[in-house]
Amino acid sequence: MAAKDISRSTVKRLPTYLSYLKSLPADGPTHISATALAAALGMGEVQVRKDLALVSAGGRPKIGYLREGLIRDLEEFLGYGNTNDAVLVGAGKLGQALLGYGGFAEYGLNIVAAFDADETRAGTESSGKPIYHVSELADFCKSRSIRIGIITVPAEFAQRVCDQLIAGGIQAIWNFAPKHLDVPEHILVQTENMAASLALLSQHLSEQMEQDKARQRQDDDGEDEP
């Protein structure tokens, strides 16, 4: 089935399956079922079964999938065997942390350069990656046929940077700025909403604290009984 026929929500789940499969010990079971995978990840069995069927034909009733074969199918579908060059805009602390992360290569992402509006950073390097002035961004992307842009600038500059990336031929944007970006229909934007993630964590902690207080009150009431 073509990638365009698979929903984005499914695509987002596939790396979770792949990460778990690759974390299993090499001397572990050679096969794994959708049921076992769903149980290990705390996900719905029907959903996992449907997801895997979309990217692999290797499943067998009562046997499951050959683990190594399923890993290959997932990696091939996700394009991890390909290398996509990318540029990063915003060489501050977050940007430099991403430049220094070596794990992107496993997922087929190669950040070739960074750009920043700070002239004192232009002409320097971070983790071996050159940093250029942002005024060179569009021309650099065009000349290197770069298709992925990573935005790590403050929110107020994100749309301007986005427009420059698109002018340079970028087709996909990984956005770390807390800002909605307006882009043409053919441009894919994946926004990492840290505020939303922190809100979920905070809400979870608040609920746990309320549950702990309720249990404590029940314990205290039980101790007061004659």
Dihedral-angle region of residue 169 (phi above 0 means left; psi in -120 to 50 means alpha; beta otherwise): left
90 is known to lie in a ligand binding site: yes
Residues β-bridged to residue 31 = 66
- Pick the closest to residue 169 from 134, 142, 137 (CA basis): 142
CB 58 within 8 A of CB 21: no
109 is known to lie in a ligand binding site: no
95 is known to lie in a ligand binding site: yes
Residue 167: HSE in the Cβ half-sphere, 13 Å Cα cutoff: 13
167 is known to lie in a ligand binding site: no
CB 86 within 8 A of CB 75: no
**Neighbouring C-beta atoms of residue 3, cutoff 10 Å:** 11
Greatest CA separation found in the chain? 83
DSSP letter assigned to residue 9: H
The span from the CA of 136 to the CA of 126, in Å, is: 18
22 is known to lie in a ligand binding site: no
Name every residue whose Cβ is closer than 8 Å to that of residue 89 and which is 6 or more positions away in sequence. 95, 114, 115, 116, 134, 137, 149, 150, 151, 152, 153, 161, 164, 165
Q: Which residues are annotated as a binding site for NAD(+)?
A: 90-95
Q: Which residues are annotated as a binding site?
A: 90-95
